[in-house]
Amino acid sequence: MKYNPHDYQTYATNFVLEHPVAAVLLEMGLGKSVITLTAVFELLYNRFEVGKVLVIAPLRVARDTWPAEIEKWDHLKGLTYSVVIGTESERKEALRKSAGIFLINRENVDWLINKSGFPFDFDMVVIDELSSFKSASAKRFKSLLKVRPKVKRIVGLTGTPSSNGLMDLWAEFRILDMGERLGRYITHYRMNFFVPDKRNQQMIFFYKPRPGAEDAIYRLISDITISMKSADFLKMPECIMNEVEVKLSEKEWSVYDELRQEMVVSLEDEEIDAANATALSGKLLQMANGAIYNEEKEVFHIHDRKLDALEDLIEGANGKPVLVAYWYNHDLERIRERFKVREIKTSKDIRDWNNGDIPIAVIHPASAGHGLNLQSGGSTLIWFGLTWSLELYQQTNARLWRQGQKSTVVIHHIISKDTIDEDVMKALRLKEKTQTDLIDAVKARIGGGVYARQ
């Protein structure tokens, strides 16, 4: 297929070419893969500035999306690649191949650097979903940081840079610029830009930005960062957000409230407790969905309110395909008991969905939130169970609400009234504001025929 780039795509490609360290914050649907591949092709075969490129991405994106993009575009003919996925012997065989680009899933970064036995000889690294390197304690972060000085060029791609607030940015930019802008140590970053907020005696649970910190952080990273919003450059389909309330009976509510108040509840002569606030949050989310695990992972049924609402929504779709996002395995099990569904997991599942062959599909945000193009198969998404993660929430919504979608997208949220579901929705809205502020601060805009950072 002939590549006729939009102006913003040409601008973004040139930005990558002109900046050895680049953070490219592109919302879903703007074509970050082809933008980056165009720059990589230029650097490999025309400018000879790099010789071997490593692309780190979520598993399905590395396996399916990047190879499909390389093979799709005429101007990338001759760009060779090797997919470093599979068993250890398969990964080693892939590393032995002669190729310009090597694609690996992020879970195998530590293996590649510390255990594969192959020297790290990549002079360019592309991190697709930079937000997956937001934890400085993760093995993938520590391993990549160890070899970072060997890398001449690095590109970080994401549409969700600060899904849990500005604290996420430190690790992401530490891996990009080795600490030049936000500091080499998280402790210094916290001290300079944040103050303790929620705490219990000496234990600090949450930090909030100092006055003026957001603007200061954005200024520090602006020279290597551009961002673009889909709505600014693409004619996006209309998206309707809908909240479907379900109400628990007095008996069901009393069980929920007992756990909320006492952090322990008795069900069928079994005591189920929550050890701390995090555990309590998870237990309450499970109960809001209709079931709960005990310590032995046995499932205790609470209610079918969400299943009944899901049935109404499926019926209301009048035969149109629906995609259902679930969170807990017992959600999936109960959905399967009520409906004939198919989970989106493999490449064949993706093809069949996009061909319209799956009337009801289920998807887990953590395993399929990034990079999958599902817009051809349907336009209705139903959140059966919610997640605190803004990143996974936005990425999952973007599987359907993206360029190429020909219908109005309807995103339903089934919410148990007066439960933690309402808190999750509120938190997602607040987090979205912080992330929107960041993207707006470094957003690339058209001005006088060219782009400029504002």
Classify residue 210 by its DSSP letter.
P
Strand order in the sheet with 81-84: 81-84, 101-105, 53-57, 124-128, 153-158, 21-26, 225-228
Look at residue 128 and tell me whether its pLDDT is greater than 80.
yes
Q: Where are the domains of the chain?
A: 7-234+437-453, 235-246+305-418, 249-302
Secondary structure class of 389 (helix, strand, coil): coil
pLDDT at 277: 64
Could you tell me how many residues make up the chain?
454
- pLDDT confidence tier of residue 442, bands split at 50, 70 and 90: low
Q: Among the listed ranges 87-96, 289-298, 436-445, which one has the minimum average pLDDT value?
A: 436-445
Q: What is the predicted pLDDT for the residue at 276?
A: 64
Q: Is 354:377 a contact under the CB 8 Å cutoff? A: yes
In the prediction, which pLDDT does 149 show? Answer: 96
DSSP 17-36: HH-SEEEEEE-TTS-HHHHH
Comparing 162 with 332, the larger pLDDT belongs to 332
> Of the given ranges (67-81, 143-157, 301-315, 432-446), which has the lowest mean pLDDT?
432-446
pLDDT band at 452 (very low <50, low <70, confident <90, very high): very low
- pLDDT recorded at residue 29: 67
Residue from 165, 134, 121, 140 nearest 59 by CA: 140
Q: How sure is the predictor about 47, in pLDDT bands with cuts at 50, 70 and 90?
A: very high
DSSP, collapsed to helix, strand or coil, labels residue 436 as helix
Report, as an integer, the average pLDDT of 326-348.
92
Residue pLDDT, tens place only, 170-188? 999 999 999 999 999 998 9
- The C-alpha atoms of residue 339 and residue 18 are separated, in whole angstroms, by 52
Q: Is 29 left (phi over 0), alpha (psi -120 to 50) or beta?
A: left
Instruction: Tell me the whole-structure pTM to 2 decimals.
Output: 0.63
Model pLDDT for residues 75-124, shown as the tens digit of each residue: 999 999 999 999 999 999 999 999 999 999 999 999 999 999 999 999 99
Cα–Cα distance measured from residue 22 to residue 16, given in angstroms and rounded to the nearest whole number: 6
User: What CATH number has the domain spanning 235-246+305-418?
Assistant: 3.40.50.300
Residue 349 has a CB neighbour count (10 Å cut-off) of 19
Q: Do domains 7-234+437-453 and 235-246+305-418 have the same CATH topology?
A: yes
DSSP output for 38-76: HHHHIIIIIS---S-EEEEE-HHIIIIIHHHHHHH-GGG
The two three-digit tokens of residue 171, written as one number: 């690790």
Q: What is the mean pLDDT of residues 132-148?
A: 94
Those residues whose C-beta lies under 8 Å from the C-beta of residue 346, and which sit 6 or more positions away, are none
What pLDDT does 241 receive?
Answer: 87
Residues 20-46: pLDDT tens digits? 999 998 876 678 899 999 999 999 999
67 or 167, which is more confident: 67
pLDDT band at 388 (very low <50, low <70, confident <90, very high): confident
Strands (E), 252-326: 264-267, 270-273, 291-293, 299-301, 322-325
**Mean confidence (pLDDT) of the chain:** 85
Answer yes or no: CATH 3.40.50.10810 is held by domain 7-234+437-453: yes
Based on C-alpha coordinates, what's the Rg of the chain? 23
pLDDT greater at residue 273 or residue 115: 115
